[in-house]
Structure 1
Amino acid sequence: MLSMTKYGCEPGHSTVTPARLRGWGAGVIVFGLGAALAAGAMPAIANEVNAPTVATPWAAGTALPATGLSSQTVGFHANQPVALDQAALPKHAANRVIVDVTTFGADPTGVKDSAKAVNDAILHAKSLHKPTTILFPCGVYSMYPENAPKRELYVSNTVGADPNYKTKSIGLLIEDMEDVIVEGMGSQLTFHGSQTEFANIRSTDVTIQNLDTDWYAAGTLDLPVVGSGVADGFGYRDIQVPVGVNVAINGATATFNGENSPATGLPYWTHAPSGATGGHNQTRDLATGQTLRTGVQLWNNSRAVTDLGNGVYRVSYNNAADPGGTGKAYEIRKTTRDTPGGLIWESQRTALKNMKLHYLHGFGIVGQFSKDVALDAITLRTDFGTGRQTAAFADFIQMSGIAGKVQITNSLFDNPHDDPINIHGTYVEVKAVDRAAKTVTLQYMHNETAGFPQFYAGDELRFVKKATMLPEGATTFKVASVDGPTGKDSTKNLTQMTVTLDGELPTNLAASQFVAENLTYTPEVYIAGNTFQSVPTRGILVTTPREVLIERNVFDQMGMASIYISADAASWYESSGVDNVNIRNNVFDRPSTGSATIFVDPTNSQSEAGKAVHHGINIAGNRFSVLPGGQLVSAKSVSGLDFTANTVNHYAPTNPVSVSSSKALFNFSSSADIDIAGNTYEKGFNLRANTSGMDAAEVRGTPDAIVNNGDNITPLGNPASPLATGMGWVREDVSKWTAVDKNTVTLKAGSSGLWATQNAAVNILRQNAPLVGDATMVVKMSGATASQYEEAGLILYSDDDNYVALQRKHANGSPVLALVTETGGSPNENTKVAAPAAADVWLKLVRAGNQYTASYSTDNVTFTTIGTVTNATVTNGKTGILAVGASSANAPFTFTDLLVNTVAQPFFEQVNAPEPAKLVAGLAAPVWTGVQFAAPSSPLAALASVPAATKSVSTKFTAADASTGLQVQFNDKVATAGSGGAYTFNLMPGANVVQVQTMGSDGVSSQTYRWVISRQGALNKPGANLVCAPVVVPTTPPATVPPTTAPPTTVAPTTAPPTLPPVTTAPPTTTSPSVTPPATTAPATVAPSGSVDAETVSAGGELTVTGKNFKPGTTATFTLHSNPVVLGTAVVAADGTVSLTATVPANALAGAHTVVITGTGINGEAAKVSIAVTVAGGTATGEATTAAATTAAAAADDLASTGASGSVVGGLAVALVLGGLVLFWTTRRRAANH
């Protein structure tokens, strides 16, 4: 099978231009189609219906040992991809009609709007009622919403029943069709405005492949900070705005507008300054890759905005401090999920294959009440060079009510604004019960889900009690009838449905106490070979009672749980309980410390003895590389959970081990039958399992030395300076503290904090005994916050949810001194003042009863009061210090002379020099050419900026230990070393990422190094990296091939392709998303002419047509009239001649005809030449001319349709290959001599 990228498009650094497409695009298409047809069919990921039956059924990958799991063996970058279950993929016939979208006016240069032309091509394909391949010749196609098809649709997890968004514009709409392949040939669809990129509705056996998508001006605004500092006495940040975004400066702030609609003249979207502070926004640290949900403090205390050119704007501030932020990307969006990014609804066997989806607007790809959905080799990441970072407005993939099997494989998920994958059903609440009629009234409960059918006649329904989340008895029901939402109109109630069942309703069934779920539409799930990175939320959410296998994935820097299993009838109403989940051979790198890595948390408020919501969860053979404060598993209401044969190590491991964590590795509640055995753990973990609401004996962890409800922290074996009597650590991380003397310690920020549910702050150094009565605490702190959410100071600590602290807080660029109080996990930091400029500050905290007063001094003489708070939960608090908060700067803070009631409290008994810790499986420091890196942002991450003139950088990577293996990635692709072992990286504008992942000889120790090079200068437009280029380039012309093009692969319909209305023939006037044709000098005007090799030709015979004085490198089209039939196309030679040998249709009428050559004259203007010809023989009756007759004729004779049928496939294949090779050679030869 021939990969489409081999004869379509490949990534590069050049823009697709009309000249380039005309110069060799025809050769690409002719050769590619010929090679594919010669192989038997167009490339497809699915089964051919006439292919031999596979003798053995599909089986998942062989289980691997936990040792040796790395980016080379698992995940998106693995050497070997995982295999899909072919039985659940679309089935495609070998004999197919090919419909070329450009025949209908689609523009592969991106200059014109192609939305209507693409839809016309699809409608024509639909009218043929045959297996069809819809072909996009390689290029960039602009897709505007104004002329895209419209449908009233209601989609799960989006806008519910909101009438303001009921009508969706859909760029690529496959509707009520069978056996369709959408073949992109590496093309990119560039979308504008608000649209669903593609939808597959009520269709069967549909594959979309080799087709990339992006947005000219994405609705999420990404603003990379390319510099910060102080100029003219004012701090500033320099932000760079992506192409397609217009900036309106409003004094101290600015408003960002999307491109203008060509229909209304108004922006498609607007981001006002007030929208930046919303907590749903995000900040991505480009150096480390970590993404956090947080308000963007871009406009806090701003004073002016200045346009510096190249899309760079300087925001200056009223204070004289450097606000920081260089290397961060601010990501600002709205909250309304107005349309899904893609939709699969009421369809069977749908597959997406080999696609790069650079941005999904509104929501992700939604599968809704369909059967068998597969996504394979999908890259969900922004395009490098555009400066954008957000790849999805919300989720990436949401499967809501799927039957059959869901397969998500060999894909990359990077930086969405919500969960990458969520697979679930929907609980609808019982609102009324009619026992006599055997009917129930059910209601959608979440405001974002409504309007589509939840049940169909014949489906299996089950009732679940909300309080316990347990099924109501063992009985399920068949649905007899449904009266409710249709999913495509608002004539019925959008939130309620009446369902009639086949049996007597349960006795206990009552309104508002029960929910119903559809068991028919619950899938088997296979998620394998994927990489999830820089995710601020969960990685995978899955709830289905059928088999789930999650294997060979890489999870890196999840902001919440890597895998989350819920069953929710209280908030999102997402079903169901799980019965068979296998999580094996995955890598969990630096998972969140704010949540367990694998989190099982149904919403039941009550439990029943001997019963559980979830069953059968097996976690085996995984590698966990955990940060201090991380937890492996937290599970509620599970019966039967095994945790076996896993390896547990520290992230960025060292020798000797330098990290210790007091967090229990396991937590279970209301669960039973838990086995923990056969795992390996590095030193420094707390081998503890907490239990609640259950018999602790249900957790069997003795083989692993797990202690139920008691600490078992394995010692590090390399004692550092011993603490003074009466002092102790909370979650010690020895890599982040240094003993200076007995009374002085330096702590580094950079870990999670204590705020609300974070509860993972490391190195809280506090007294062991509670502070009694009224008291005064003072400490000197040296050092200022540097970035993000660093915070450091004095604390009275009871536990993670109850404390009072006086802290320096960076507040994401607005530094303050804040008196923080938290009670029962509810924090408040409103008592604060601006942070002083001085690096040294004395912090004082005074307790009087339940009141706490904070003050500070810069000289330890005069103290300034900050304020007073009340907190009754810290009467047993312990005096201490801390430096924490999310940050990549690891800013140090030095604490000296802690006084409690004027009595000095030393930190250390004595100061020892510990053995220095070295990274295991580390790299020798690389020497770079073309770039100089400053101090690392973290031990494993560095950031640098280079001028626009720097096109490439290079280096070598050498493991410190020869037994260490490594994989080098550049911009999320595996890189290969050149001669001598050096790597050369060709830079895009904006951030470029070099990442090296190592694996030690022990098969467990691994490091992830990251270097980010930001290249200055103007950012790229979407699609700029697309280059259409053939792979096969003969060095000499084939001697046996005549210098003409092969017969056409497609034949035009009997009616002309549609003409686009004026509003869509050009992009908006206020922006420039189009590709500009290259300037040319027109030669002297000579009229084109033409001739034929014979004035008379028999029907079914060959005819050679030659044109002269056409523009070299352009494509000419040859059409036989009067009822037009396209004979083919050919590329004009360097001397202005163009020739085509074609077969006259066997059903052509006898008599006089005209051959018309249409193309471009040598003056660059459209040209047309007509040549008379007589057809002898032929049919005795005329061709169909009415619409109905045209369809009938198309069905009867493929030559009357736009497309070559399977009956001519074999005859065209050789000619297509040979003709394509000639076009490749002649075109490349011209290019070489240009």
Structure 2
Amino acid sequence: MKKITMILAIIAVSATLGMAKTSDPIIIKPVDGDMTPIIIKILDDVDTKDIQLVFEKGVYRFLPDYALGKYLEITNHGNGYKRIIFNFNKFRSVSIEGNGSEFIFHGQAMPFLFEDCESIKVSDLVIDWDIPFTFLGEVVAVNEEEGWRDIKPLKDGFSWEIRNGQLEFPNIDGFSYSYPGSTLAFDATEKRPVHGAWDIDSKPRWVEKLPNANLRFHERLKHYPPIGSLLSSKGDREHDRYAPAFDFKTSSNIYLDGIVIHHALGMGFLFERSENIRLINSGIYLRVGTNRVISTTADATHFCNCKGSILIENCRFENMLDDGTNVHGTYVEVDEVIDNSTLRTKLMHFEQRGFEFAAPGDEVWFIIQPSPQRSETAVISKVKFINDEFIEISFDSQLPAGLKSGDILENKTWNPEFTMRGSTIRNHRARNVVLKTPLKTVIEDNYFSSMMSSIFFRGETFFWFESGAVNDVLIQNNTFEYSAYSGSEHSVLNITPRLGSAFDQSITYDRNISFVNNTIRTFGNRIVNADRVDGLTIKNNKIIKTYGVPELYPGTPLIELTNCQNTVIQGNSYEGDCETAIKTDEQSKLTLFVKNNKDFN
């Protein structure tokens, strides 16, 4: 009966398409069973460059069986063959009106892919999975001496099994992670990482099913989770980022309003080499009443080599397993200088493979060791992609003198202005906001609570190779509450470039960061940590030390400066106990201005 219903639905939609003009919306109604074939047919049959889909309010279920198969290179995810439900790669403009509908996905599915679109509008949708790609259980016993922990696994809504002495999950459609992998302990009441939590890369020697149905993980850990906590795992790093819920590639004028994501097999919203983006009134968070603790298995939002204007406003991001947002470019390393206007470059991180670093007409900065600062520029005349790792780039002018293997390039053209306001980010792993764009950045009127640093600046020519240095940042009127509670040491505002050993570690990297009129309520004293900043202003902030949980790193200063220049610390107030308010090295002290701070020792 379900098959007949689906066939009739496809016929009805086909008839509508036959009568539709370019501007006519396509009305879609929910049917029992798998909606994927219906969507695939709709997108195949439309022969215009503009499409408008209107979903009548309801619950729509999508299976990957008949989804479009395609090999994709997705930055900060695992490249590979993906099953795509909504594939928008032939349209100039796309409009999707969800009317509050719920889209429930199953298995390894990629919900939305937009490629080369000039206008995108998506509104009023809820995204979820029927079964999450995570394992969750309560820690009921720990024996550090013998090296095991007992877990009472959650079964309702989760899928897993013990096979050959190992935990396999999610055990869906033939796919499972072969070991727990990335694992983190959550507070069972607050549904956030436990105080002092450490990331665990779990690979037990074996997993034993006990007579009481609990699971004993035989594994020696450096940091054991507390009894009573909920321990969540998301699998091995090579496979645990299948795809984002929304992936936008080389697209522009993107408007997203009223979208809620409860789960995704990677990031929530990923933007690659796209421009002019507005994400408003949207969220990534758990359903009310759910027994889950994880929403997306990676960042809520991520912007890689974008340009134009980016706005995140009135949004709520919670319970992700990585950052609230990360805005960055990409460094590529010079592999070989071929001639005086041509070189071969290399994409350095395995999750950058295949990324479109640049195109003809783009302007790039050359960064020549040992200085990490941007130097000369040139415009690209030709790009030849040799494979997913190496790119041959030719320029319309001669290369800078002294450029050599190991130096790096940064795309100057593809950097955005970024604004985040009126948003809440909390209860998740990692940082609230990671910023790496040289253009104007404003972070204002937000509520932040983060396991790690709330605001994090880290351009790096090492490991991730994410550019770059900031030049104009205003962080104002935000509330920071219960921040930096990871087991490893962090600060509320953390500015710390990570550069390879061939770079001079004392040269200024970031510039012109203002941290003003913010309220910080947290248990620890490490509020600002700044390394290699020129022009840092810390002004009129209200810092209140809270009590009730252990201070993880006692004796740390409120503000610590290393290799900084032109720092202003003025008009701030502090309530609490602190041995040292400001700690600086000799270089930072030379141009430091301190005035009218209340109760700073």
What range is the shorter-chain TM-score in? 0.7 to 0.9
Could you say if the C-alpha distance between residues 706 and 202 of structure 1 is closer, same or farther in structure 2, counting changes exceeding 3 Å? same
Aligned to 1:334: 236
Deviations 1:432-478 (A, max 9, x none): 22444x11211101111111321111111111134331112xx3211
Cα contact 2:253–2:275 (8 A) shared by 1: yes
Unpaired segments ≥5 residues, structure 2: 3-21, 143-148, 219-224
Aligned to 1:359: 263
Deviations 1:1085-1133 (A, max 9, x none): xxxxxxxxxxxxxxxxxxxxxxxxxxxxxxxxxxxxxxxxxxxxxxxxx
After superposition, residues 205-284 of structure 1 pair within 5 angstroms as 205-224=119-138, 238-243=152-157, 245-248=159-162, 255-258=167-170, 260-261=172-173, 267-270=174-177, 272=178, 275-276=179-180, 278=181, 280-284=182-186
Cα contact 1:223–1:388 (8 A) shared by 2: no
Aligned length: 559
Distance in 1 of aligned mates of 2:153 and 2:353: 40
Cα contact 2:483–2:492 (8 A) shared by 1: yes
Aligned to 1:440: 343
Query: Which of residues 333, 358, 377 is equivalent to 1:429?
Result: 333
After superposition, residues 877-896 of structure 1 pair within 5 angstroms as none
Query: Which of residues 98, 108, 116 is equivalent to 1:184?
Result: 98
Distance in 2 of aligned mates of 1:660 and 1:335: 29
Distance in 1 of aligned mates of 2:396 and 2:199: 50
Amino acid at match of 2:381: A
Indicate the SS of the match to 1:117. helix
Query: Which of residues 56, 67, 73 is equivalent to 1:137?
Result: 56
Indicate the SS of the match to 2:590. helix
Q: Identity over aligned residues, as a percent?
A: 22
Distance in 1 of aligned mates of 2:292 and 2:369: 43
1:586 correspondence with 2:493: no
1:128 correspondence with 2:128: no
Amino acid at match of 2:230: K
Could you say if the C-alpha distance between residues 338 and 683 of structure 1 is closer, same or farther in structure 2, counting changes exceeding 3 Å? closer
Could you say if the C-alpha distance between residues 167 and 464 of structure 1 is closer, same or farther in structure 2, counting changes exceeding 3 Å? same
Could you say if the C-alpha distance between residues 695 and 209 of structure 1 is closer, same or farther in structure 2, counting changes exceeding 3 Å? closer
Query: Which of residues 363, 367, 370 is equivalent to 1:467?
Result: 370
Q: How far apart are 1:551 and its partner, in Å?
A: 0.9
Amino acid at match of 1:641: L
1:696 correspondence with 2:579: no
1:97 correspondence with 2:4: no
Q: How far apart are 1:598 and its partner, in Å?
A: 0.7
Indicate the SS of the match to 2:274. strand
Aligned to 2:556: 663
Could you say if the C-alpha distance between residues 662 and 228 of structure 1 is closer, same or farther in structure 2, counting changes exceeding 3 Å? closer
Cα contact 2:323–2:433 (8 A) shared by 1: yes
Query: Which of residues 376, 380, 401 is equivalent to 1:479?
Result: 380
Distance in 2 of aligned mates of 1:688 and 1:479: 48
Indicate the SS of the match to 1:146. coil
1:377 correspondence with 2:281: yes
Q: TM-score, normalised by structure 2?
A: 0.85
Deviations 1:25-48 (A, max 9, x none): xxxxxxxxxxxxxxxxxxxxxxxx
Aligned to 1:453: 356
Distance in 1 of aligned mates of 2:599 and 2:565: 16
Could you say if the C-alpha distance between residues 136 and 504 of structure 1 is closer, same or farther in structure 2, counting changes exceeding 3 Å? same
Deviations 1:389-420 (A, max 9, x none): 11122222221100101212212211222222
Distance in 2 of aligned mates of 1:693 and 1:122: 64
Deviations 1:525-544 (A, max 9, x none): 01112211122211111101
Deviations 1:212-259 (A, max 9, x none): 11112222223356x789xxxxx9754322325153577xx6744435
Q: How far apart are 1:365 and its partner, in Å?
A: 2.5
Query: Which of residues 62, 70, 73 is equivalent to 1:151?
Result: 70
Deviations 1:77-115 (A, max 9, x none): xxxxxxxxxxxxxxxxxx94110234xxxxx25x42111
After superposition, residues 869-1018 of structure 1 pair within 5 angstroms as none
Aligned to 1:684: 577
Distance in 2 of aligned mates of 1:303 and 1:367: 42
1:646 correspondence with 2:566: no
Aligned to 2:187: 285
Larger Rg: 1
Distance in 2 of aligned mates of 1:213 and 1:359: 7
Q: How far apart are 1:515 and its partner, in Å?
A: 0.6
Indicate the SS of the match to 2:526. coil
Q: How far apart are 1:518 and its partner, in Å?
A: 0.8
Distance in 1 of aligned mates of 2:294 and 2:127: 14
Distance in 2 of aligned mates of 1:293 and 1:173: 38
After superposition, residues 503-902 of structure 1 pair within 5 angstroms as 503-512=397-406, 514-556=407-449, 558-592=450-484, 594-604=489-499, 606-607=503-504, 612-628=508-524, 630-652=525-547, 662-692=555-585, 694-704=587-597, 712=601
Aligned to 1:348: 252
Distance in 2 of aligned mates of 1:683 and 1:129: 61
Deviations 1:1153-1174 (A, max 9, x none): xxxxxxxxxxxxxxxxxxxxxx
Unpaired segments ≥5 residues, structure 1: 1-17, 19-94, 103-107, 160-164, 230-234, 262-266, 308-312, 485-491, 713-1234
Distance in 1 of aligned mates of 2:364 and 2:141: 59
Aligned to 1:396: 300
Distance in 1 of aligned mates of 2:586 and 2:226: 48
Distance in 2 of aligned mates of 1:317 and 1:452: 39
Could you say if the C-alpha distance between residues 290 and 298 of structure 1 is closer, same or farther in structure 2, counting changes exceeding 3 Å? farther
Q: TM-score, normalised by structure 1?
A: 0.43
Amino acid at match of 2:349: H
Distance in 1 of aligned mates of 2:160 and 2:151: 19
1:112 correspondence with 2:33: yes
Indicate the SS of the match to 1:116. helix
Could you say if the C-alpha distance between residues 517 and 584 of structure 1 is closer, same or farther in structure 2, counting changes exceeding 3 Å? same
Distance in 1 of aligned mates of 2:202 and 2:555: 34
Cα contact 1:397–1:422 (8 A) shared by 2: yes
RMSD: 3.1
Aligned to 1:73: none
Could you say if the C-alpha distance between residues 622 and 705 of structure 1 is closer, same or farther in structure 2, counting changes exceeding 3 Å? closer
Deviations 1:713-763 (A, max 9, x none): xxxxxxxxxxxxxxxxxxxxxxxxxxxxxxxxxxxxxxxxxxxxxxxxxxx
Indicate the SS of the match to 1:441. strand
Q: How far apart are 1:506 and its partner, in Å?
A: 0.9
Q: How far apart are 1:119 and its partner, in Å?
A: 2.2
Aligned to 1:1144: none
Distance in 1 of aligned mates of 2:204 and 2:331: 42
Indicate the SS of the match to 2:352. coil
Deviations 1:1130-1189 (A, max 9, x none): xxxxxxxxxxxxxxxxxxxxxxxxxxxxxxxxxxxxxxxxxxxxxxxxxxxxxxxxxxxx
Q: How far apart are 1:180 and its partner, in Å?
A: 2.0
Distance in 2 of aligned mates of 1:534 and 1:380: 11
Indicate the SS of the match to 1:120. helix
Q: Which has the higher contact order (CA 8 A, sep 6+)?
A: 1
Query: Which of residues 317, 324, 328 is equivalent to 1:420?
Result: 324
Amino acid at match of 1:595: H
Deviations 1:163-187 (A, max 9, x none): xx43222122222313321111111
Distance in 1 of aligned mates of 2:167 and 2:191: 27
Distance in 2 of aligned mates of 1:302 and 1:324: 19
Distance in 1 of aligned mates of 2:428 and 2:399: 44
Cα contact 2:161–2:171 (8 A) shared by 1: no
Could you say if the C-alpha distance between residues 339 and 679 of structure 1 is closer, same or farther in structure 2, counting changes exceeding 3 Å? same
